[in-house]
Homo-oligomer: A and B are copies of this chain.
């Protein structure tokens, strides 16, 4: 194995841990996820986890970062579309497409925010806030490009609707919540 391969492998391991952390925390919640759970999911010996992340909170932060990357990937792709309205509609489509995930575990970011939001003076709570703000900012930019007044309020409405429908779909174990609300949001975007 060459040096660069080793570095790559090491980077890969770190990334595996980040992804495993994101996945496991989404499925089980922060507090019900143990380091051992994440280690197992990443196929890494428990003791070795601490070589990459000093504390469990660091791993949770990494999970947040993973979601941030996901977000940027998605919005980055949507940015290729010429029409901001189309971008928003595709965003909603994506949410609906993931409805089964929402039914089982809720929105990854939203449930993380709900759990971490209870911590006071916490870096993790702040980081979750940042992540949410990032999504809001992107959505707001689309509304602004559409020439809408109060694009920030519209962004809160749209993202809030997504959070609400994910939470209800999860609580009711009903994917229809996602499809129906998704359709409503799409219609609403078209009506603007």
A interface residues (Cβ-Cβ under 8 A, vs B): 27-32, 104-106, 110-111, 113-115, 117-118, 120, 128-129, 132-133, 136, 153, 156-157, 159-165, 167-168, 170-173, 177, 180-181, 184
Please state if A168 and B172 are interface contacts (CB–CB under 8 Å).
Answer: no
Q: How far is the CA of A114 from the CA of B164 in the complex (A)?
A: 11
Nearest CB in chain B to that of A32: its residue: B31
Please state if A157 and B133 are interface contacts (CB–CB under 8 Å).
Answer: no
The smallest beta-carbon distance between A187 and chain B, in angstroms, is 12
Nearest CB in chain B to that of A184: its residue: B157
Please state if B163 and A181 are interface contacts (CB–CB under 8 Å).
Answer: no
Instruction: Identify 20 new A-B residue pairs, CB closer than 8 A, beyond the known A132-B172, A156-B168, A161-B164.
Output: A29-B31, A104-B120, A105-B118, A111-B114, A111-B117, A113-B171, A114-B114, A114-B167, A114-B170, A117-B171, A128-B171, A129-B171, A136-B168, A156-B165, A156-B181, A157-B184, A160-B165, A161-B161, A163-B164, A164-B165
What residues of chain B lie closer than 8 Å to A184, measured between beta carbons? 153, 157
